[in-house]
Amino acid sequence: MPIKNVVVNCTDVARSVEFYTRFLELEVVGEPTPERAVLDAVTATVELRAVGNGRDASTWSPDDLQKGFRHVGFKVDRIDERAGVLKDGGVEFKLDPLDAEGNVRICFFYDPDGTLLEMIQGDLQYAEVLDADGVARERALGVPSRPRFDHVAVTIEDRATTSAFYDRYGFSFIGTIEQPHDQRGFHIGYLKGGDTVLEVFTYEVDKSSRAPQLDVAGFAYAELVGDPADLPTETAPDGTKVYIDSDGFAFAVGSEA
């Protein structure tokens, strides 16, 4: 079962629609309003919702030692060309395109309200393959003709605990990537559900925690397919019940349709 939808709060829906359609070629679904727009990202949707708070109101930090949401990733072709277009458009980058562990090329940049986004080019060559069939299904998706939603990344405390919890939503580890030059003991695991992934970061050093904020600009929550969980909940501005896992990652659940 996949990640069905990613909700991103923004201070100007029209501006964010222009950003995601121009730079990531997401396609508008239905008729946008000043309060909400839904964009098709091939394997999931990105839902933009208006909030009144600006970027400075968020407690999210770009330091990956902060547990919970880290970034939203899209598979792409021509990453350097696409990055050039972003730079020409004045988009703020966190990391310019570079070759990364796993034989992929990546870059990181921010949307207009500070949500961190990643573009990834190439098939990951895992340090350890845990599910060969899952890796084969991933690679069978091929090179996207336009940017395709791939994953949400989260920093967690314990991989086994996260694996056991998200198994109920159809996610299982297909592989790992190591970062041997990172002195913090940085490891990455890939929990695949359908055609989407939860990319989980673990570190062997202390991490900070953050309570999710559902009413400020930036990433709000992901929507998974499945049943309610026995977890603390918060209510999004539109009334959606949102669950908060042990690492502070926020998600809602819904049906596959």
Query: 17 in a domain, yes or no?
Result: yes
The answer to whether residue 196 is domain-embedded is no
Q: Which domain does 33 fall in, by range?
A: 3-57+215-254
pLDDT in tens, 85-94: 999 999 999 9
pTM of the model: 0.96
- 124: region left, alpha or beta (phi > 0 left; psi from -120 to 50 alpha): beta
Would 82 be classed as within a structural domain? Answer: no
Within-domain flag for 73? no
Domain for residue 225, yes or no? yes
Note whether residue 89 is domain-resident: no
**Tokens (6 digits) for 77:** 């072709």
Q: What's the total number of domains in the chain?
A: 1
Decide if 226 is inside a domain. yes
Q: What is the pLDDT of residues 193-229, one digit of tens each?
A: 999 999 999 999 999 999 999 999 999 999 999 888 8
CATH of the domain at 46: 3.10.180.10
Left if phi > 0, otherwise alpha if psi is -120 to 50, otherwise beta: which for 243? beta
What are the two backbone dihedrals, phi and then psi, of residue 223, each rounded to the nearest 5 degrees?
A: -110, 120
* pLDDT top residue among 1 and 5: 5
- Asked if the structure places residue 183 within a domain, the reply is no
Q: Supply the pLDDT for residue 229.
A: 87
